[in-house]
């Protein structure tokens, strides 16, 4: 791809993303729309650079390839552990469930979402973490049932586009706030001062979700 065609592709993606976020509608004041568009453009351009440099990776579904309803961006560490084969051990089964969560997200499956970090029902698949204004979320892998599960933290880059940066087995996270701090540091290392996407309702983050 030439620089010109890459720039054109970026412009198309930015424009489509801005419409998807409602930045061109009348819902927001002009100044707010402009700030939102600049933030989206900045994250989009930075993300494409990070993907080219293999500091982040766009995950493909194991079942549908790159024909997906949503986008999942992962760190090299996460890509390494969710890439098959998975061993026939508890460790392997747990990582397989992690990959199944990510594939369900990619393929547009229903995601149960908890917006209140202090009120997370057991079936919440995605939950906000504190402080809420920082816009970080926890991917909650709760299978197999006889395990503590896995948690992976990141933020939204756009509607239906999630960026997973760090992960650990739940029992390996003694202080969850420390894990949130690690996610924030990882985001800043990649995106600088540009934080994750911020929305006013779940409709601005996801399609096919169920609030819990």
How would you classify the pairing of strands 161-169 and 150-158?
antiparallel
Per DSSP, the three-state class of 71 is strand
Write out pLDDT tens, residues 118-141.
999 999 999 999 999 999 999 999
CA of residue 27 relative to chain centroid, distance: 25
Write out pLDDT tens, residues 65-79.
999 999 999 999 999
Buried-exposed string 171-206: b where 16+ CB fall within 10 A, e elsewhere: eebeeeeebbeebbebbeebbeebbbbebeeeebbb
Is the pLDDT at 7 greater than 50? The verdict is no
Q: Which pLDDT score is estimated for 43?
A: 83
Which secondary structure element, helix H or strand E, spans residue 38, and what is its range? helix 30-52
Please state the domain extents for the chain.
1-53, 58-211
Is the pLDDT at 162 greater than 70? The verdict is yes
Mean predicted confidence (pLDDT) in 55-68:
98
Contact 84, 182 (CB under 8 A): no
pLDDT band at residue 2, thresholds of 50, 70 and 90?
A: very low
Give whole-number Cα distances, 167 to 25, 34, 94, 135, 154, in Å.
36, 34, 12, 17, 9
Q: Which pLDDT score is estimated for 44?
A: 87
How would you classify the pairing of strands 111-114 and 209-211?
parallel
Is the pLDDT at 54 greater than 80? The verdict is yes
Write out pLDDT tens, residues 89-109.
999 999 999 999 999 999 999
Q: Which pLDDT score is estimated for 39?
A: 56
């Amino acid at each position: 791809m030439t620089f010109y065609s890459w720039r054109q592709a970026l412009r198309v993606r930015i424009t489509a993303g801005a419409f998807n976020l409602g930045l061109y509608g009348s819902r927001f004041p002009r100044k707010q729309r402009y700030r939102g568009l600049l933030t989206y453009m900045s994250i989009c351009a930075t993300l494409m650079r990070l993907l080219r440099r293999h500091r982040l990776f766009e995950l493909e579904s194991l079942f549908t390839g790159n024909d997906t309803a949503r986008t999942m961006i992962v760190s090299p560490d996460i890509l390494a552990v969710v890439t098959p084969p998975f061993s026939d051990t508890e460790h392997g089964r747990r990582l397989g469930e992690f990959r199944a969560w990510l594939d369900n997200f990619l393929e547009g499956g229903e995601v149960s979402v908890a917006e209140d970090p202090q009120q997370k029902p057991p079936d919440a698949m995605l939950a906000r973490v504190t402080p809420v204004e920082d816009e970080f979320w926890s991917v909650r892998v709760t299978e197999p049932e006889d395990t503590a599960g896995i948690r992976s933290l990141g933020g939204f880059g756009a509607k239906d586009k999630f960026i997973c940066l760090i992960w650990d087995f739940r029992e390996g996270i003694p202080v969850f706030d420390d894990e949130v701090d690690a996610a924030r540091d990882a985001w800043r290392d990649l995106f600088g001062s540009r934080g994750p996407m911020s929305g006013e309702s779940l409709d601005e983050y996801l399609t096919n979700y169920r609030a819990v």
